[in-house]
Amino acid sequence: MQMFRTNMRIAIGGLVAALALGAASASAASTTTFRATFHDNGSLATCAPTAVFCGSGVLVGFGPATTEVHATSVIPAGDCLIVSGTRAVTLTDGSGSLAMTFSGTRCPLGEGGHTARILFGWTIVSGTGTFAGATGSGSGINTTAGNVQVVSMDGTIDLP
């Protein structure tokens, strides 16, 4: 019986240690605020052939970045459009990149249709380097005038 109690204590001690190690590993991931601002343009001379917009901006806390946007769906909805697509973001120092999806509603501002605003949600689908294993999501606002847009994104990013 004494041997049984000793083995039980060892087993329980091992279980407690394993749970503590698992909790420490789980807490090793960090969730932080994600903020980014991009200034994009729709110039065929500067963007890749399949990109709708490309440009540069800043990921707060990570540094300057370049970005490329691809539309995957545009569906009319009254005076507005339901849009979705992908955004690739690469830190200019080459230390990491993010692949994101987005979807939202693009509506004209005023008459003439030359300015519009898109309210959208975004999700991180993959990352490399600094962002390897990253997940996250948030919302954003895109104001477009002609072929120039200013994009602000806010949310959270989880880094392993």
Model's pTM, two decimal places? 0.78
Residue 22 has pLDDT above 60, yes or no: no
Amino acid at 109: L
Residue 134 has pLDDT above 80, yes or no: yes
Q: Which CATH architecture has domain 29-159?
A: Beta Barrel (2.40)
Residue 41 vs residues 34, 46, 107, 143: alpha-carbon distances, Å? 23, 8, 18, 12
Burial (Cβ within 10 Å: 0-12, 13-18, ≥19) of residue 10: exposed
> How many angstroms separate the CA atoms of 151 and 117, rounded?
10
Residue 24: which H helix or E strand, with range? helix 2-27
pLDDT, tens digit, 9 for 90 and up, residues 33-59: 999 999 999 876 777 777 789 999 999
Residue 12 has pLDDT above 60, yes or no: no
Q: What is the pLDDT of residue 20?
A: 37
pLDDT, tens digit, 9 for 90 and up, residues 83-126: 999 999 999 999 999 999 999 999 999 777 679 999 999 999 99
Report domain extents, the chain.
29-159
